[in-house]
């Protein structure tokens, strides 16, 4: 099966955040990967409330120096540039909301319509939950991807994995590389 994307101006992204409750959640780490392979990974300062699951599973694996939210915004803007890319994430609703909470809705550097890879899978007749590190439905096996090389819940690895999966669906890397 192949994806025929509308645009190749895209950036893969993933974030880990403090809660699934949109009123409380804030970004703790973010990973961005461009089509040309350039990547950015940041961990943000945060001292607010953290969901118990996040405390147990995410906080221990955040090992980089933490930067302020202002610094994070600056580095993300520099990385993205002026092209306003489509952001492609897997189950992107939380990432998107917390992205808006970080930047503000009117002043963030991505195109205003984010693309959800779970919805793409759904539209192709694939269970969106097949995209899962445990690979119970042999999703990665069938794609020929070694998912074990990606650290689960690491935002950069999640974004890199999404890129690898996306390109498998796309069929040809040559077609999708920025001109």
Residue number with CB closer to Mg ion (28 or 167): 28
Which one of the spans 11-19, 21-29, 102-110, 161-169 is the region binding Mg ion (CB under 5 A)? 11-19
Q: Which is nearer to Mg ion, 34 or 154 (CB)?
A: 154
Residue 116 C-alpha from the chain's centroid: 10
Query: Residue 94: which of 44, 154, 164, 23 has the closest Cα?
Result: 23
Distances (CA, A) of 131 to 47, 136, 159, 169: 31, 9, 13, 13
Residue 7: Cβ within 10 Å count? 10
Count of residues of this chain found to bind Mg ion when the rule CB under 5 A is applied? 2
Residue (14 or 164) nearer to Mg ion, CB: 14
126: its two tokens: 């694939």
- Dihedral of CA atoms 45, 47, 52, 56 in degrees, nearest 10, equals 50
Asked if residue 158 binds Mg ion (CB under 5 A), the reply is yes
Q: Which one, 10 or 28, has the nearer CB to Mg ion? A: 28
Between 7 and 148, name the residue whose CB sits nearer to Mg ion: 148
Which range binds Mg ion by CB under 5 A, 4-12, 46-54, 67-75, 154-162? 154-162
- CA dist 162 and 148 (Å) reads 14
Member of 13, 14, 99, 165 binding Mg ion (CB under 5 A): 14
Contacts (CB under 5 A) with Mg ion, residues 26-85: none
- Smallest CA-to-CA distance from 142 within 115, 124, 156, 159 is with 124
For Mg ion, which stretch binds (CB under 5 A), given 13-21, 46-54, 103-111, 163-171?
Answer: 13-21
Binding residues for Mg ion (CB under 5 A): 14, 158
């Amino acid at each position: 099966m192949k994806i025929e994307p509308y645009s190749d101006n895209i950036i893969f992204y993933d974030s880990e955040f403090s809660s699934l409750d949109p009123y409380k959640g804030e970004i703790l780490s973010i990973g961005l990967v461009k089509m040309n392979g350039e990547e950015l990974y940041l961990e943000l300062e945060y001292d607010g409330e953290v969901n118990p699951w996040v405390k147990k599973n995410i906080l221990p694996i955040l090992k980089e120096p933490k930067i302020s939210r202002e610094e994070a915004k600056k580095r993300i803007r520099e990385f993205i540039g002026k092209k306003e890319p489509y952001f492609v994430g897997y189950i992107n609703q939380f990432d998107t909301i917390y992205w808006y909470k970080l930047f503000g809705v009117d002043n963030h550097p991505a195109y205003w319509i984010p693309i959800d890879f779970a919805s793409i899978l759904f539209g192709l007749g694939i269970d969106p939950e097949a995209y899962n590190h445990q690979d119970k439905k042999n999703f990665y096996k069938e794609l020929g991807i070694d998912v074990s090389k990606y650290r689960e819940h690491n935002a950069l690895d999640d974004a890199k994995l999404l890129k690898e999966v996306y390109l498998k669906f796309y069929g040809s890397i040559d077609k999708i590389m920025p001109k």
